[in-house]
Structures are given as C-alpha cells and as structure tokens.
A = this chain, B = another copy of it.
Amino acid sequence: MPTFAQSEDEKMLRDIFDAALTEGKAYEHLRQLCKDVGPRLSGSEGADKAVKWGQKVLSEIADTVWLQPVMVPHWERGDTEHAEIRLSDGTVIPTQICALGSSVGTPAEGLTGEVVEVFGIEDIEKLGEEKLKDKIVFYNRPMEPRLINTFAAYSGCVDQRSSGASTAAPFGAKAVLVRSMGLRQDDLPHTGVQRYKKDVKKIPAAAISTNGAKMLSKKLREDPKLQVHIKLSCQNFEDKLSHNVVADIMGELYPEEIILVSGHLDSWDLGEGAHDDGAGSVHAIEALYLMRKLGIRPQRTIRCVLYMNEENGPNGAIEYAKQAKLQKMNHMIAIESDRGGFTPRGFSIDGTEDVQNDALKQIEKWEELFKPYDIHHFDKGFGGVDIGRLKDQDIPLVGFVPDSQRYFDHHHASNDVFEEVNKRELELGAASITSLIYLLDKYGINTNEN
C-alpha cells in the first residue's frame, strides 16, 4: 500500500526534523568541538583531542566505535607571520598574511623582493624566468562573483593556492603570495593546502587578504618597483600517527551492508573549524544520535566516519578506501557533509556512471517527502573529497548541499568559529541527512519498493 508507506515515511521525516530541532545534540556537540577541542590540524595536539572527543561522543551512541590508524602530515605555523609593502619612497605598509599549509618558512630575517602580479598559474610560463627570477609572484585572480554556486567560483581559483608555489619556483620565483579564496572584501587571510611538486624547489607560500590584495595591486600600478618583505616561521615535521573515528549502528537484517555518513574531524589551525568541518562532523554524529533517539532500528549498518586529515591529505580517506577494498567492505552508499552548517538545499550525487544514475533515480523518488523541508534539490555533482576515494569501488556518493553563499566568508580563516553557525540551520542539515539515511536504509537502491 504505497499510500500507507508514504504517510508512514512522511511521519518519520516529521519526527526526525522535530527531534533535531527540539532534542538534538548537534549544536552542543559543535560547541564542544569548537570550544573544548578547538582547532585541530592533522598532527597537532588538537587533532589528538578531537579523535578522543569523537570516540567518546560516539561511544555513547553507537554499537561499536573503533579507531583506524593513519599516518598524517605534521606542519606548524609557528609564531611569526609578517608582511609589509615597501614603497620606493620609503613608505612601509604592513599587511596581514598567513602561511599556506606545508609551506616552508623564510630565512629568520625574512625575504624581500619585487612583486609580479599574475592572474592565474597559466600566466607563469608566459612570463618565464626573465620576468620572474628572484621575484615574489602575487596570484591575484579573484573568485568569480557571478557564479551562483560559490564552490564553482572556488574551483576556478584554487589552483593558484594549491600549486602556485611549485608552478612559479622553476622560473626562479623566491616566494608566492596568493589572494585569499573568498568572495568578500575583508582583512582576513585564508589558509589552505598547497602542495610542492616533487623535485621542485620549495619556496614560501602565503595568503594575503582580499583587502590586502586589492591594496597591493593598486600600489603596484602606482609603483611597479615596490618590494614586499615576508617573514614566516612555519615548518614541516615528521609524519605522525593519527586516526579516523569509525562508529557503527549494526543493521538488523543486512548488517554487512553499510550506509556511510561522514564529515572530517581535522580543521585548519586558524579559527575553530566550525563550518569546515565541525558542522559536517556533528551532522554525521547526529544522524546516528537521531536514529537512536527515535528508536529507528536500521536494516543495514549505519556507519559514521569522522575522517582525519581531509585538509592537507586526504590520508584518512585514502586509508579508509584502501581498507574497504582489502577487507571487502560492502558499502551501499556513502554520504559526506563538508560544505558548512548552512540551511540545507538538497543533495549532490556522484559515482561511476551507472551507479550515479541509479542513485539519483532512487533519491528523486523521494522528492515529495523532502519538499516540506525545502531540501528537494537533487543533482548530479561532486560528493566530497573523503568519500570521493570510494568512487572507483562503484559506491554511490552523496554530498550534502547547504546554501553556499556565506561559506567562503569563513573558509580556512580565523572567523570560522562556533558563533558563526546558526543553531537551526545546523539542525536542519542534520535532519536532512538523517532523513535520507532512513529512506536509503528502508528502500535500498535499485529495488522495486517505493
């Protein structure tokens, strides 16, 4: 009786949302993770604390919790991050920068050089060694404000940050400054991963705020010979042992079939990693919590994975995917929340071609159930960095999609703090994900039911 089934499902989704909004723990868990644990970059003490916290919280909810060992990078920012613009007339203008993840430091006395402004890594080869030797390369392509989805704008710029240093170093550049990945004009530099290519000289790499970038660009037009002085004390250490936190509610009928829900436990060292990805971590925990709270006994195993080292890895995701293959784990589907704790809009479906099509088809059947919560936007698209590592195992991947407008105001910056997460928006996200899990568990994919 489909009518009965639907009204039962309608009721259950209503119960899930009600519980999330009135008895949920997501907001309190986020407070703990942001305020009691704090920033938690891989390899840091904060990351160790986060693992212990995740293990403890999940122990009170799940049937089993285990830690999956994974080696992670260990990089520290150190005490000194200083930059100043030195004009030809002797004027000195200080400007705020922050080192990019894995950057080497400068010599203790800092380094100084003229600046070449470029608008993308593709400019580097055109300029060549003649123009770039001994210069500081200033990557200043802004995020495209006309893109409605801010993640698309991010994708169009982030190569400047991730590979700007290694692209410029072979041409003799002595350091790079990268315009922060943000759509807002403000004074906050945004960090993030940058990767040195093998056998390329490691030169210091730092982010400059959008206001700083605007000012530097203007000053360069007026005074092309100005110099920038940079001092960074960051350094890389030996890799360290850390862990993914994995927790299961065992399925009653098909315990070997896993529905995975995840966020990442590590964060950058600036701010508190509230939206990135405290929100995703507590979303994943809350899915298990709400199922318990409501007495939902799943047919399949519901697994929460709090990945380690998404930010400058993703070693946690690589290790989990490797073990999934080795141990022949049977994942029905994998869900990730890593786009912040904003008002939910829907889900983005990824996977190898047939797998993606089947999953989208299945989820679209539930459109009417999701409509009352305004979360019925289902599209093909990226699932997430961590679950992405499972794609070649033909597992359907689902990315949770909240509103994206404010995400890059906080991303990897010192204002990614608990206070910037709205309680209701966070809770609605948790309820959305839990509702999807409930339906996936009940109906599976590619079945004739519902």
The proximity string for A residues 109-150 relative to B, scoring 1 for CB distances below 8 Å and 0 otherwise, is 000000000000000000000000000000000000110101
The yes or no answer to A201 lying at the interface (CB within 8 A) is no
Q: How far is the CA of A406 from the CA of B405 in the complex (A)?
A: 14
Q: Which of A302-347 contact B (CB under 8 A)?
A: 343, 345
With A184-B423, A405-B343, A406-B422 already in contact, the answer to whether A373 and B148 are too (CB < 8 A) is yes
Binds B, one of A17-25, A239-247, A381-389: A17-25
Q: A53 CB to closest chain B CB, in angstroms?
A: 24
Does the CB pair A22–B405 fall under 8 Å? no
With A403-B403, A405-B343 already in contact, the answer to whether A145 and B424 are too (CB < 8 A) is yes
Q: Which partner residue on chain B sits nearest A409 by CB separation?
A: B422
Which residue of B184, B372, B424 is within 8 Å of A183 (Cβ)?
A: B424
Q: A406 CB to closest chain B CB, in angstroms?
A: 6
The proximity string for A residues 10-54 relative to B, scoring 1 for CB distances below 8 Å and 0 otherwise, is 000000011001100000000000000000000000000000000
The yes or no answer to A8 lying at the interface (CB within 8 A) is no
Which residues in B have their C-beta under 8 angstroms from that of A358? none
The proximity string for A residues 138-167 relative to B, scoring 1 for CB distances below 8 Å and 0 otherwise, is 000000011010100000000000000000
* A/B interface sample: 5 pairs, CB < 8 A: A17-B148, A22-B146, A345-B374, A406-B424, A406-B425
15 additional contacts (CB under 8 A) given A21-B146, A183-B424, A406-B424:
A17-B146, A18-B146, A21-B145, A22-B145, A22-B146, A148-B372, A148-B373, A148-B374, A148-B428, A150-B424, A374-B377, A405-B425, A405-B428, A406-B422, A406-B425
